[in-house]
């Protein structure tokens, strides 16, 4: 990025960009003009601190950084994950069957296998060890093998096919076993099925949950082969490891090394989505993502929704020095969307070494967090409005909701609640931008609102399988675009490895009652370990 001629232009622009109030005063048309629409989603970025000059320079930055060429490589399945020498071909997972190249046909084959499995479970052909039909499915996975399926399953519950509504799908990810403990407390071992979702099939969090379940089931079913065949499915890119764990090959679904963990919900990792909502809903999700892929591939920069999300992020981080980014969906169904994006963005772009191995001298991914917007109003919005931090925000809202509920006695109240929700969403972005000038300013200094906090609003006509697929894909492409400009690899995550190794070293020390075992540790960890040992033995 630093050698791009657009950078000094942007630096000079940042020094002169006026308050959002003045930007709107001098250009009343910006609310209408500063928009990008793709795959049915509209991005309103008029409340970002940009003007025409900044936008032109940002568009140049994207081209100077080589976005078009790298995007071609991404879609062609070339090696773009250079530190791991792999493609990152999640777009192939949602290419419609009719358009798949020979290399992509493995995708349709796995989808067919997934369909058969889903049919057998949903129709009751698949039975537990005692012959009863499956009532509950638990996904055991973490990170990309949990967050995407959890987020989509929760987000689209209203769309589940009538035939699948009897099946309950749960998620357990935490290494401490607490989610699993809650579930095992009320699940029936005869009617519960567990999906072990792990790209690597080495993740200790997931495997320790799987081992606990295996022991729980083993205490109810003495025939281990029968128990494994009737109660476990594995989803992984590591076939042999699934077999080594004991999973019969008919109980395995595969995907490929070229699918990154946090980009994997479109693969067989989406099995919980298909089980909870139906295969047709899963296919619609893929179709929505594909529509966004096409938009990203073809739309000009300033009308390209994911590219604009990326460029505005870069403008805020690298030129306006705004290092925090809030994700604020005004929709209870998107409860898990912020945590999904936390992994997608921060695990991808939380990097400080460039593709060439050199330490970067500019910022990359901001701290990103979020919450359902209307709830966050009663939690952290105080800081957004009157704190000392600049924070950029993404508001996400659907125009239509509850229209289909015409048989429901309380539809009118729910429609009114939806309007109230939208009013809150618009009110907040307005106050963030314009401060108390949005109404009459108060003389009391504690009641002043300075405004000038930038935000974008993503407007969906309604939240459904296609629009959610498109929304997720938009953020994936945002992440990719930013990585190209920052010259980092968004598809590896070396930064999570060392902690795993150190935990493996510490685990036996914690169990060793001999205090000398922890002697070599740093003073803080040693004292903590000793206190824990004392408390555990006392
Ligand atoms: O530890 C980070 C990570 O590797 C993520 O990138 C990944 O999504 C998660 O762990 C789970 O990995 P796996 O699917 O291999 O179990």
Give the pLDDT confidence of 86-101 residue by residue, as tens digits: 999 999 999 999 898 9
361-370, 429-438, 522-531: which is most confident? 361-370
CA dihedral 329, 333, 339, 342 (to 10 degrees): -40
512 or 169, which is more confident?
169
| Mean pLDDT, residues 513-531 taken together | 85
Report the SS3 class of residue 467.
helix
Cβ atoms of 151 and 171 within 8 Å: the answer is: no
- Of all protein residues, the one whose alpha carbon is nearest to atom 13 of ligand 1 is 198
Residues with Cβ within 8 Å of 192's Cβ and at least 6 positions away in sequence, in order, are: 128, 134, 135, 136, 137, 138, 231
Residues 191, 221 contacting (CB under 8 angstroms)? no
Residue of 84, 174, 196, 200 with the most ligand 1 atoms within 8 Å of its CB, for mutation: 200
Find out whether 392 and 313 touch, Cβ atoms under 8 Å. Answer: yes
* Average pLDDT for the chain: 96
243: region left, alpha or beta (phi > 0 left; psi from -120 to 50 alpha): alpha
Q: Which residues, judged by CB distance below 6 Å to any ligand atom, belong to the binding site of ligand 1?
A: 142-145, 198-200, 203, 206, 261-262, 347, 493, 496
With tokens 């519960």, the residue in question is: 192
Lowest mean pLDDT among 302-306, 366-370, 533-537: 533-537
Position 495 scores a pLDDT of: 96
| Residue 512, pLDDT score | 81
Q: What is the position in ligand 1's atom list of the atom closest to the CA of 142?
A: 11
* CA–CA gap between residue 37 and residue 304 (Å, rounded): 7
Cα 270 from Cα 104, distance rounded (Å): 18
Q: Is the pLDDT of residue 168 over 90?
A: yes
- For the CA of 203, the closest atom of ligand 1 is 16
Q: For residue 485, which of 365, 369, 395, 384 has the smallest C-alpha distance? A: 365
**Ligand 1 centroid vs 261 CA: distance in angstroms?**
6
The pLDDT score that the predictor gives to residue 408 is 85
Atom of ligand 1 nearest to the CA of 141: 16
Residues noted as catalytic: 347, 378, 500
Q: What is the pLDDT of residue 369?
A: 98
**Structural contact between residues 19 and 449, judged by C-beta atoms closer than 8 angstroms:** no
515 has a pLDDT exceeding 80: no
The alpha carbon of 270 and the centre of ligand 1 are apart by a number of angstroms equal to 15
Looking at residue 450, its pLDDT comes to 95
C-alpha 146 to ligand 1 mean position (Å): 9
């Amino acid at each position: 990025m630093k050698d791009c001629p657009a950078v000094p232009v942007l630096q000079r622009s940042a020094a002169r960009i006026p308050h959002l109030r003045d930007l709107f005063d001098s250009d009343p048309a910006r609310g209408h003009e500063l928009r990008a629409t793709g795959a049915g989603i509209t991005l309103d970025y008029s409340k970002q601190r940009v003007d025409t000059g900044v936008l032109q320079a940002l568009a140049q930055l994207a081209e100077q950084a080589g976005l078009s060429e790298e995007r071609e490589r991404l879609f062609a399945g070339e090696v773009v994950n250079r530190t791991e020498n792999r493609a990152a071909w999640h777009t192939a997972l949602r290419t419609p069957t009719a358009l798949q190249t020979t290399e992509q046909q493995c995708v349709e084959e796995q989808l067919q296998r997934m369909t058969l499995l889903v049919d057998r479970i949903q129709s009751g052909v698949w039975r537990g060890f005692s012959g009863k039909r499956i009532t509950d499915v638990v996904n055991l996975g973490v990170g990309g093998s949990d967050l995407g399926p959890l987020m989509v399953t929760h987000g689209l519950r209203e769309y589940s096919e009538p035939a699948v509504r009897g099946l309950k799908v749960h998620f357990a990810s935490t290494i401490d076993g607490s989610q699993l403990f809650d579930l095992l407390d009320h699940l029936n071992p005869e009617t519960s099925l567990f999906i072990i979702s792990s790209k690597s099939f080495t993740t200790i969090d997931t495997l320790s949950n799987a081992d606990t379940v295996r022991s729980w089931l083993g205490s109810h079913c003495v025939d281990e082969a029968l128990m494994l065949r009737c109660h476990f499915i594995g989803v992984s890119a590591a076939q042999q490891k699934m077999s080594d764990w004991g999973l019969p090959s008919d109980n395995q679904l595969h995907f490929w090394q070229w699918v990154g963990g946090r980009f994997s919900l479109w693969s067989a990792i989406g099995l919980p989505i298909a089980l909870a909502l139906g295969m047709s809903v899963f296919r619609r999700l893929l179709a929505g993502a594909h529509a966004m892929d096409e938009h990203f591939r073809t739309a000009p920069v300033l009308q390209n929704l994911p590219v604009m999300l990326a460029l505005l992020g870069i403008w805020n981080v690298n030129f306006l020095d705004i290092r925090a980014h809030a994700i604020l969906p005004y929709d209870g169904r998107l409860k898990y969307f912020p945590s999904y994006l936390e992994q997608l963005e921060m695990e991808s772009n939380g990097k400080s070494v460039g593709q060439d191995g050199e330490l970067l001298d500019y910022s990359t991914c901001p701290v990103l967090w979020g919450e359902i917007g209307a709830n966050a109003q009663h939690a952290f919005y105080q800081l957004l409005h009157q704190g000392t931090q600049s924070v950029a925000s993404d508001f996400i809202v659907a125009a239509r909701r509850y229209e289909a509920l015409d048989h429901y006695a309380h539809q009118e109240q729910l429609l009114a609640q939806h309007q109230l929700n939208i009013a809150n969403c618009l009110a907040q972005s307005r106050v963030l931008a314009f401060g108390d000038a949005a109404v009459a300013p108060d003389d009391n200094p504690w009641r002043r609102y300075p405004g000038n906090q930038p935000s974008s609003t993503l407007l969906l006509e309604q939240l459904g399988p296609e629009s959610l697929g498109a929304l997720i894909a938009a953020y994936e492409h945002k992440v990719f675009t930013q990585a190209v400009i920052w010259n980092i690899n968004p598809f590896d995550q070396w930064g999570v490895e060392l902690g795993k190794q150190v935990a493996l070293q510490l685990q036996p020390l914690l169990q060793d009652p001999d205090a000398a075992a922890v002697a070599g540790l740093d003073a803080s960890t040693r004292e903590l370990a000793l206190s824990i040992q004392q408390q555990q033995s006392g």
